[in-house]
Chains A and B, each alone.
Chain A
């Protein structure tokens, strides 16, 4: 966080500017604070917190006959949520997002580990190279995968095979992995980077095998990074709608698709909001787990 030297001078320190009374200084400080913080926080209040509140609020209202909202309390959106149909979609989304996250961790950990052990001048380059694809259009990256994976696409052409890749759950997981892998590598990297190499040496000197050292020392110490990375991959995967739509061939649904349908097709804001709350719930659970891991780490 910020260094303590930026805090106001302690009482009894130097006199206020131009010898003004402390009250005047405090007033001008408060003025400055509101000038700096005011615009941004107001913006966030209006365009982030209130919209978020609207998501919560709408989930307990009723849908009007023609897509409007009737402001009348109801729990029907939540009873609809536990309908096996929608619950099944939630479970499927959890499953697909979990698979994508686990693979991202398995791929991301060795990658981050390798970057952390690069010579210092190469580290930045290697990191930027990881982030770069993430900062390019998500849609274009999905398009690239379609070209590779479709029936007459490049992979089948190269292999001379007729593998069924596009329009499967495997394609969806690949898409999620491709989209969010950088978000796994970054926090893992900063966690591994911070490790004290002496710990590992000590463990090795005590006769522990490389694997034991990893299992007992390295991995537990990087657990907060692991949790952060998993959260960064899991949350956007769980709420995705474009990947199943473009790569799944309409054969699989995820929560994101239901939310999109509810909002853009059926104009059913209340049920869409209830669905969206599952996203927030998942995020909160992961945050709590992450905070726990950080405390132990």
Chain B
């Protein structure tokens, strides 16, 4: 039933296909995401719009919002439907949002620099503050973040920093510097992970060299590359998603980690922000310009900012939320990193989108991954 035979004339078939390209090439017209409309004009939104006629689709990281959020938001807001879809990385979210045709997504959760990139491409609806009274719950610091000062097109959902998460029982001395990660002690050799997403991949080397996380100078990036390549033979792998588990199982003993995903409540796991400093990252909520349900989307964001819902993130996923009213409700357990204050966080350098220069980081990530 499965006897396969290769046609000998396949090359001919491919050649014909090659000829067909001429036709396709000539008939083409500009496609793609419509080009740059740098600053978008705000649509007129009606605060009294009938939400029961609107349905929204939200894309978010798995486990990043309460499981019952769709039902509760639907009941609370009186919208027709709230649908949650998932992405596992910022890149995947960006791919979804720039997919051809009508992707149907109204609200997206993406990190700050990606929100900025989307805004620069004219793909975001400006935030209408009058539709989100709960913006008043945010810490004042959370309205002045450098990727979007004044929260013009994004609303912060969680924030934190990046550091080294490690096994106290398996390392002789706790790490203090990014260099400990890049050039690990013998007991950690081949048991270190770093992140894959390009900006965080570069972060330890940038900070170890005393550079800005937002540098776009070629000579800086060349130095970073050299350092990262030197570190590569000592790594277990590059990992954005499962470093916490690898640490718990002992597969890794020292990992580059976001604070919320470092399981410090386990007794042998420690956390440090290296002495050279680190970043301030923010995960945000944005509304797509293509959304046909913008009033409901604003109402949804407003609902997420209510202390009861927003505190869920801090209590359940261990990420700090930039919402004072919500954080005031949270009991902070022993050893938890939730205790880091906004002032301490703001010592980290905020990652911003670098526009065309961000391709330098993409190339850097490719170079590091391709190096044997």
A interface list, Cβ under 8 A from B: 49-50, 52-54, 56-57, 60, 64-71, 85, 88-89, 92, 127, 131, 150-152, 164, 167, 186-187, 190, 228, 231-232, 248-253, 257-258, 261, 264-267, 280, 284, 287-288, 290-291, 294
Q: A67 is contacted by which of B24, B32, B91 (Cβ under 8 Å)?
A: B32
Please determine whether B25 and A57 come into contact, CB atoms closer than 8 angstroms. yes
- Separation in Å of the B198 CB from the closest CB of chain A? 10
Can you name the residue of chain A whose Cβ is closest to the Cβ of B15? Answer: A284
Q: Are A280 and B196 in contact (CB under 8 A)?
A: no
Chain B 147-171, CB-CB to A under 8 Å as 1, else 0, gives 0000000000000000000000000
Complex Cα–Cα for A190 and B3 (A): 8
Q: Is the CB of A71 within 8 A of B28?
A: yes
Tell whether, in the assembled complex, residue B237 and residue A250 are in contact, meaning their CB atoms are under 8 Å apart.
Answer: yes
**Residue A261 contacts which of B3, B32, B366 (CB distance < 8 angstroms)?**
B366
> Hey, which chain B residues are within 8 Å of A258, CB to CB?
366
Closest A residue to B100 by CB, please name it: A267
Q: A151 near B251 (CB under 8 angstroms)?
A: yes
Closest 6 pairs between A and B when the two form their complex, measured CB to CB: A68-B32, A249-B237, A250-B238, A53-B21, A151-B251, A57-B25
CB pair A251 B121 closer than 8 Å? no
Does B186 belong to the interface (CB within 8 Å)?
A: no
CB neighbours of B11 from chain A (8 A): 284, 287-288, 291
B24 near A68: Cβ-Cβ < 8 Å? no
B2, B36, B196 pick with most chain A CB within 10 angstroms: B2
B370 interface hit (Cβ, 8 Å): yes
Nearest Cβ distance between residue B195 and chain A, in whole angstroms? 9
Q: How far is the CA of A54 from the CA of B366 in the complex (A)?
A: 26
Please tell me if the beta carbons of A57 and B95 are within 8 angstroms of each other in the complex.
no
B35 and A65 contact, CB distance less than 8 A = yes
Complex contact A50–B24 (CB within 8 A): yes
Q: Are B8 and A164 in contact (CB under 8 A)?
A: no
Known: A52-B17, A71-B28. A151 touches B249 (CB 8 A): yes
A267: chain B residues at CB < 8 Å are 32-33, 95, 98
Given A56-B18, A57-B21, A251-B232, CB of A69 within 8 Å of CB of B31: yes
| B-to-A contact residues, CB < 8 Å | 2-4, 6, 8, 10-11, 14, 16-18, 20-21, 23-25, 28-36, 91-92, 94-95, 98, 121, 190, 196, 232, 235-239, 249-251, 356, 359, 362-363, 366-367, 369-370, 372
C-alpha spacing A264/B99, complex, angstroms: 9
CB contact between A167 and one of B6, B34, B236, B369 (< 8 Å): that residue? B236
B38 to chain A, nearest CB (A): 11
Contact A85 B3 (CB under 8 A): no
B-side contacts of A291, CB under 8 Å: 8, 11
B8 (CB) vs chain A CBs: closest residue? A291
Q: A85 and B370: CB pair below 8 A?
A: yes
Which A residues are in CB contact (< 8 Å) with B34?
Answer: 68
Complex: chain A residue closest to B237, CB-CB:
A249
* Given A69-B32, A151-B249, A252-B372, 9 other A-B residues pairs in contact with their CB atoms under 8 A: A57-B28, A64-B35, A127-B2, A152-B250, A250-B196, A258-B366, A267-B95, A284-B11, A294-B8
A88 touches B370 (CB 8 A): yes
| Contacting residues, chain A, for B3 (C-beta < 8 A) | 186, 190
Do the beta carbons of A66 and B36 come within 8 Å of each other?
yes
Contact pick for B235, options A65, A66, A251, CB 8 Å: A251
Contacting pair A49 B29 (CB below 8 A) = no
**Residues A57 and B24 in contact in the complex (CB < 8 Å), given A152-B251, A284-B11, A290-B6:** yes
B24 nearest CB neighbor, chain A only: A53
- The interface residues of chain B lying within 8 Å CB-to-CB of A253 are 366, 369-370
- Can you identify 22 A-B contacts, CB atoms within 8 angstroms? A53-B18, A53-B24, A64-B35, A65-B356, A66-B32, A68-B33, A71-B25, A89-B370, A151-B236, A152-B249, A152-B250, A231-B6, A249-B238, A249-B239, A251-B369, A252-B369, A253-B370, A261-B362, A265-B91, A266-B362, A267-B95, A290-B6
Please indicate the chain A residues that have their CB under 8 angstroms from the CB of B28 in the complex.
57, 71
Q: How far is the CB of B325 from chain A (nearest CB, A)?
A: 37
Please name the residue on chain B nearest to A267 by beta carbon.
Answer: B98
CB pair A71 B21 closer than 8 Å:
no
CB neighbours of A53 from chain B (8 A): 17-18, 20-21, 23-25
Min CB distance, B14 to chain A, in Å? Answer: 6
CA distance A57 to B22 in the complex (A): 7
Among A57, A60, A85, A190, contact of B366 (Cβ-Cβ < 8 Å) = A85
Compute how far the CA of A231 lies from the CA of B11 in the bound complex, rounded to whole angstroms.
Answer: 14
Contact of A150 among B16, B232, B251 (CB under 8 A): B251
Given the contacts A66-B32, A68-B35, A249-B239, A287 and B20 also touching, CB distance less than 8 Å = no
Complex contacts, B29 vs chain A, CB 8 Å: 71
Neighbouring A residues of B18 by C-beta, 8 Å: 53, 56
What residue of chain A has the Cβ atom nearest to residue B2's Cβ? A131
User: How far, in angstroms, from A85 to B92 measured CA to CA in the complex?
Assistant: 24
Residues of B within 8 A of A68 (CB): 30-35
Q: How far is the CB of B8 from the nearest CB of chain A, in Å?
A: 5
Candidates A85, A187, A280; contact of B363 at CB < 8 Å = A85
Give Cα A186 to B2, complex, Å: 8
A150 to B245, alpha carbons, bound, how many Å? 13
Contacts of A64 in B (CB 8 A): 30, 32-33, 35
A67 to B98, CA, bound (A): 8
In the bound assembly, the distance between CA atoms of A88 and B363 in angstroms comes to 14
Smallest CB–CB gap between A270 and chain B, Å? Answer: 11
- B228 CB to nearest A CB, Å: 12
Residues on B with C-beta less than 8 A from A52 are: 14, 17, 20
**Contact indicator A66/B30 (Cβ below 8 Å):** no
Chain B neighbourhood of A190, CB < 8 A: 3
Q: In the bound complex, do residue B20 and residue A49 qualify as a contact, i.e. CB atoms below 8 Å apart?
A: yes
Write out the residue numbers on chain B whose beta carbons fall within 8 Å of the beta carbon of A288: 11
| CB proximity of B90 to chain A, nearest CB, Å | 10
- Chain B residues near A49 (CB, 8 Å)? 16-17, 20
Q: Are A280 and B370 in contact (CB under 8 A)?
A: no
